[in-house]
Structure 1
């Protein structure tokens, strides 16, 4: 039995396979887009290739990895189970929807009745209930509320990930004590942001601080929850954190309202964060990102 294990990951827009020892130390990674196996110290050349053999396709280049930054060194020493960087937007929702799709008690429904768009370029795995029927497959419906929430999480997550070219680092679905989660954390030149996601369902957004209502739906204290996310992140990271409420799919003809200390953005507005700066330097961003991706950091939040 191999003493090495292979773990999928996603880094700066690229799919990777990380090879690590049983103690969690990374010894190599395979970048699928470039077809390159980057070798580190800690394991033999032949052992690494044997572990990766089932996953290698086409021509493969093998060589030493680029010289890592201090933040990369911190990541490489982080056990994969404690690394939050591979988390997908709405990570917990994927499991709940997968369970619902496999439940024998779920009503059958045609796939055409589901109208939650999936981007073909999305780096995250498409769950069974969104793939469509295959040979011998019985298509079951997903709970609409969870499906809409996941679609919103993915839309906002993709918009945030697009900021990485402007020097931002992004994490998704950060678990907190007490089963709570921070939907997204963005660290960049404009500072540290917690981003709480709301599915707009094409309805108008109304704010009566701390309440937020969508159309004629029930008002909920989303602004209070967004502020609480920022406070817990600030406690965990020991730095200033600003709250953001991201509304995915809000009514296009109505401008989003303004709150005193919470940015309210649509997923299309997130790209404007790339133009902001003056708060954190690149070294500070990398240091905070290395701290934030460690699951144990959030035990004190």
Structure 2
């Protein structure tokens, strides 16, 4: 009993901090000075211990977060992608970006008028809707997703990387109206046509050059009451939140898992997109 009490008391000096978006990624166990002594990989259900003499303290600190049978041991030998990721400066890492990061920033810190703020909230809503769908897909080990991909200028609302390839996704507000997508233009309701298909192609071509791998342009239409796609539109894929999982999981495999990891490591580095 005394031993358990001492261990719990000693573990109070350790802090458990998440890495990446909430509920995903790793949990790091740090000393008060910020040095990591362990991390918990929730996907692999494994604790990597850097300071074996603190094993009991580490387990006590992580116990509220553990589920099922957890493996414990020294860190695995880092891959080349691990080393690149570890050397990535935090300000250059795009992985923590939330869906609609730019809209969130403007709404929080900007000084736009009422109409502009309403438009930004609508844009934010559709990006978050699509982001939730993609995050759910990325909970599967084989998929990786980045949101609000931008460097000197916006590139993609979402970038999805998985066994079927790389997808550069541009979101479209359906506004509870009919959406008609042609080879060059998109029309929602009675509003003026917009060049979304061309913008999607341009973004995917830019991503293809940056990543040195084929990237498929995708339009994600959110909240349209009816969706019509021209039969001649073959190079740009069109999805909705409800069709995303079926479309992507049924696509043929073109990338191996190490390729997915390597592309994600490259894509999350803001400097890739300069």
TM-score by length of 1: 0.68
Cα drift, residue 180 of structure 1: 2.4
Q: Structure 1 residues 96, 30: CA separation in 2 closer, same or farther (over 3 Å shift)?
A: farther
Structure with bigger gyration radius: 2
Q: How many residues align?
A: 249
What is the correspondence of 1:118-157 to structure 2 with a 5 Å cutoff?
Answer: 143-157=117-131
Q: Give the whole-Å Cα distance in 2 for the aligned partners of 1:191 and 1:268.
A: 20
Asked if 1 retains the 8 angstrom alpha-carbon contact of 2:177 and 2:224, the reply is yes
Q: Structure 1 residues 145, 57: CA separation in 2 closer, same or farther (over 3 Å shift)?
A: farther
Q: Which residue of 1 aligns with 2:242?
A: 268
Which of 93, 96, 109 is 2:106 aligned to? Answer: 96
SS class of match (1:14): coil
Cα drift, residue 237 of structure 1: 0.5
Cα drift, residue 149 of structure 1: 0.6
Q: Which residue of 1 aligns with 2:169?
A: 195
Cα drift, residue 106 of structure 1: 6.8
Q: Structure 1 residues 75, 19: CA separation in 2 closer, same or farther (over 3 Å shift)?
A: farther
Q: Structure 1 residues 98, 30: CA separation in 2 closer, same or farther (over 3 Å shift)?
A: farther
Q: Which residue of 2 aligns with 1:168?
A: 143
TM-score by length of 2: 0.74
Q: Give the whole-Å Cα distance in 2 for the aligned partners of 1:191 and 1:34.
A: 23
CA shift digits 1:32-63 (9 cap, x unpaired): 9999975558xx97xxx9xxx9xx89588997
What is the correspondence of 1:42-61 to structure 2 with a 5 Å cutoff?
Answer: 58=64
SS class of match (2:210): helix
CA shift digits 1:242-295 (9 cap, x unpaired): 1000011111x5455552310011111110102223211111111111111111
Q: Structure 1 residues 254, 298: CA separation in 2 closer, same or farther (over 3 Å shift)?
A: closer
What is the correspondence of 1:106-125 to structure 2 with a 5 Å cutoff?
Answer: none
Asked if 2 retains the 8 angstrom alpha-carbon contact of 1:205 and 1:250, the reply is yes
Q: Structure 1 residues 275, 73: CA separation in 2 closer, same or farther (over 3 Å shift)?
A: farther
Higher helix share goes to which structure? 2
SS class of match (1:9): coil
Q: Give the whole-Å Cα distance in 1 for the aligned partners of 2:230 and 2:50.
A: 50
Cα drift, residue 160 of structure 1: 1.5
Which of 193, 204, 219 is 1:219 aligned to? Answer: 193
Cα drift, residue 163 of structure 1: 2.1
- Consecutive unaligned residues of structure 2, counting only runs of 5 or more, are 1-16
Q: Structure 1 residues 10, 65: CA separation in 2 closer, same or farther (over 3 Å shift)?
A: farther
Asked if 1 retains the 8 angstrom alpha-carbon contact of 2:180 and 2:228, the reply is no
Q: Give the whole-Å Cα distance in 2 for the aligned partners of 1:31 and 1:283.
A: 18
Determine whether 1:80 maps to 2:90.
yes
SS class of match (2:263): helix
Determine whether 1:71 maps to 2:71.
no
Q: Give the whole-Å Cα distance in 2 for the aligned partners of 1:19 and 1:81.
A: 22
